[in-house]
Structure 1
Amino acid sequence: MRRAFTRSAETLGVTIAGPEFWGWHGRTLSSRTEHPGRGACWLRLLSAPQDKGAGKIWEGNRHAAAVFDGRVHKPLLHDITQSNSDGYAYRAELHEYVTERVCSPSPVLRAALAPPTSWWESLRADLDHVHAAPTDRVAVRQEWVDRTVPRFLDIPGPRITDWATAHGDLHTANLTTTTPYLLDWEGFGLAPVGYDVAMLLAYSLLTPAFAHRVRDNFPVLKTEPGRIAQIIVITELLQSASRGDHPELVPVLRLLATELS
C-alpha cells in the first residue's frame, strides 16, 4: 500500500505532506499532500484484489462527484489514477483538502458533541438535496433485508416502500465540526427513506444527548418509513458487530430494536 501510495502521488504530481491515515481494515491509505497548482489536497488510495477492483464502492466517489460536487458540502474530487501491482488493484483519488476536524475519530460517537443550530440546518439542507438526487446506484437491497433481518432480530424483514438516494455511511467520523462537510461517499445509492439519519442515530446511541438531537432534527425517524430504516440499520450494525466491528454497540442496538418492533 505504501509503495502504491508513493507511486500514485508521483503520477498525480503531488508531494506527501502529512501523516498517514489508514481506513477500515487497512483497505484505504490517505494523507495530506501538496499540489503545485491546487495547494493542499487529500490523497486517498483504495485497494482491492485485482479481480475485485470494480463495482459500486470502487466507483462511488467518482459517481458522487459527478452528482454532488458544488451542490452540497463535500470535498471536490480533483483527479483519479488507477494501477495494478502484485495481484492488487489500486485507485488513487485526489480530493480537496478540508481543514475542519471530523466530529469523531470513530464511527461510534463516544464523547459529548453539541453542534450549533446552524450545523444541523446545513446538514438537513444537504441531506434534502442528496435524497432528491436521481441515481441508479443501490445501497440497500430488499433481498438482503429479507434474508438478514430475521437472522439478527428474529422478526420478518420489513418491506421497503419508500426509497431515496442516501449518502450511505453517515456518522460523525464522516462529518466535520463546523460546516459540516460530508465525507466518504463511496457507498452512496438508493436506500430506505430515513436511512442516513437512522445510521447517524445508531452510531450515536452511546451519547444520549446527541442521539436526542438527531431525533429532534429529523422527524422522519418517528414515521413508519423511519422505523423501517432504523430496523435495517440496526441489522447492518449487528451483522458488522458479529464480524468484530464495534461490539460495544450491540446492547443499545438491541434495546432500540425492541422499542421499534
Structure 2
Amino acid sequence: MLDLRDTRIPDVIDYCKEVLSVDLDTENPAFGWGGKSVGFRTSRGTWVKILFRPSDLLNEWTWTGEECASVLTGISKPQLLRSIRWSDGQRELVWRADETTRVDSPVISSTPEIRDYPQGLSADWWNDLRESLSALAGKKTTRVGVRQDLINRRVREYAGEAVDPSVDEWMPAHADVHWANLTAPTMTLLDWEGWGLGPRGLDAATLWVFSLLVPAVAKRVSEEFADDLSCRSGKIAQLFMCVELLKMVRNFGDHPDLEKPLTREADRLVVELAGTPRSG
C-alpha cells in the first residue's frame, strides 16, 4: 500500500493545484493515519486533503462520504467547498482531493489513542461533542457505517454463542470518532469518509476504547455518553469495538498498548451481555 509519508507525488500535487486553481503549502504537509492521505494549507485560507484508493478496492460508501456529509447541519465539522477525483492508471489508483474550510485548532493526538490527559477539553468542548453527535444521530441516511454481519462475526469470534450480537437500535454515526479526528480547544470532528448507520452508542464506544490508556478520560467519556453506552446496543457497540481493535493489535500490530485493557473490558462486557436478553 502506498505510504504518502515517504512517497513523492509531485504529479498529483500539481494536478490538484491546476484544477483547483490554488497554491498548496507543500513545505508543511499533514499526513493521515498510515500515510494514506495528506493535507495542505492553501493560498486562499482553506485546506486541501488528498487521498487515494486502489482501483480494484474502491468502496462507494467511503469514497462518497464527504459529499454526503456536506449537507449535515448542527455539527461542528469542516465545510466541503469542492472535490475532484481522477484515475491513475500507472499506479492503479483512484485519487481524490477535497477542499474544505480550514480548522485552526490542532488535532488532539497524532494517533487514534491517547496516553496522557489531553489539553483543552473544557466543559464547552464536551458539550459541543455531545451536541454534534446528538445532531448526527437525529439525521436520516441510507448509508451504513457498520454492518450487522460484521458485528455478528466479530462478537462470535470472541464470545461464541454466549452473546446475542443483534443490535436493537440503529442511528447515524460518524463511525471513526477517535482522538486524531478531534480538535481542541475548539471541538471539530474531522474525516467523514465512513459515516453512516451504526449501533446506538457507536461513536461514544469508539472514543472510549481509544481512551482506555487514560482511565480518567475513559471514565469521562462513559459519563458524558452514559445513556448511549449503558443501553444494550451501546454495550454491543463497546464489545464490537474492543474486539475489532484486538483484531488490529493481534493481526497487524496496531495499538499494542491497548491489548490488556481491551481484553479486560471485552471480558467484562461479555459477562454483562450474556445476562441481558434482547428487547422486543
Q: TM-score range by the shorter chain?
A: over 0.9
| CA distances 1:177-212 after superposition (whole Å, capped 9, x unpaired) | 122011111110000000000000000000111111
Matched-pair contact (CA < 8 Å) for 2:33–2:111: no
Q: In terms of mean alpha carbon deviation, does 180-189 or 243-252 score higher?
A: 243-252
Matches within 5 A, 1:111-260: 111-113=116-118, 115-154=121-160, 155-156=162-163, 158-219=165-226, 220-241=228-249, 242-260=251-269
Change (3 A) 1:26 1:105: closer
Q: CA deviation at 1:2?
A: 4.1
Number of aligned residue pairs: 255
Q: TM-score, normalised by structure 1?
A: 0.92
Q: TM-score, normalised by structure 2?
A: 0.86
Could you say which residue in structure 2 is the equivalent of 1:109? 114
Change (3 A) 1:63 1:94: same
Secondary structure of the 2:72 match is helix
Structure 1 Cα separation of the partners of residues 266 and 206 of structure 2: 13
Q: In terms of mean alpha carbon deviation, does 157-166 or 193-202 score higher?
A: 157-166
Structure 2 Cα separation of the partners of residues 198 and 2 of structure 1: 39
Structure 1 Cα separation of the partners of residues 159 and 31 of structure 2: 32
Q: Work out whether 1:96 is the aligned partner of 2:105.
A: no
Matched-pair contact (CA < 8 Å) for 2:168–2:232: no
Q: CA deviation at 1:145?
A: 1.6
Matched-pair contact (CA < 8 Å) for 2:212–2:218: yes
Q: CA deviation at 1:246?
A: 1.1
| CA distances 1:91-131 after superposition (whole Å, capped 9, x unpaired) | 11011111101111110111212511111111111111001
Alignment-mate amino acid for residue 194 of structure 2? G
| CA distances 1:128-164 after superposition (whole Å, capped 9, x unpaired) | 1001110000011111122222224445451111110
Secondary structure of the 1:66 match is coil
What is the CA RMSD across the aligned residues, in angstroms? Answer: 1.6
Q: Percent identity?
A: 34
- Among 6, 14, 17, which residue is 1:6 paired with? 14
Structure 2 Cα separation of the partners of residues 126 and 231 of structure 1: 24
Change (3 A) 1:2 1:254: farther
Could you say which residue in structure 2 is the equivalent of 1:21? 30
Secondary structure of the 2:108 match is coil
Matched-pair contact (CA < 8 Å) for 1:9–1:43: no
